[in-house]
Amino acid sequence: MEVKVLEEDKKLINVEIIGEDHTLADALRQELWNEADVTISGYNIEHPLVSNPVLTVETSGKKEARKALFDAVDRLKKKNNEILQKIQKI
């Protein structure tokens, strides 16, 4: 997986998630809504067979958009590790 920053300033970041589909993009979108400072969190895939998701994150400015995205990724990693540990106990 590769992530390409398409646009960025303090309050806004647009990233293309190359080689991924709705699964990761939707998980990130949903996790970003757990950030109090996030005002916009969404993604678009122009065509599922030939394009990659473009994730848009906007904050009110108290927290940088890049930081909000990194924090959401860290939380998802933690959740995935917890699920993996529970599965391995089965």
| pLDDT one-digit tens code per residue, 37-60 | 999 999 999 987 889 999 999 999
Quick one: average pLDDT of 59-86? 96
Closest CA to 4 of 45, 38, 54, 73: 54
Quick one: average pLDDT of 14-39? 96
The structure's pTM equals: 0.90
Quick one: average pLDDT of 18-47? 96
Query: What domain range is 54 assigned to?
Result: 2-89
Half-sphere exposure of 20 (CA within 13 A, CB side): 20
Collapsing DSSP to helix, strand or coil, 1 comes out as coil
CATH code of the domain covering residue 57: 3.30.1360.10
Query: How many whole angstroms separate alpha carbon 80 and alpha carbon 90?
Result: 16
Quick one: average pLDDT of 16-29? 96
CB atoms within 10 A of CB 44: 11
- For the chain, how many structural domains are there in total? 1
User: Taking CA 15 as the corner, what is the angle to CA 25 and CA 73, rounded to the nearest 5 degrees?
Assistant: 55
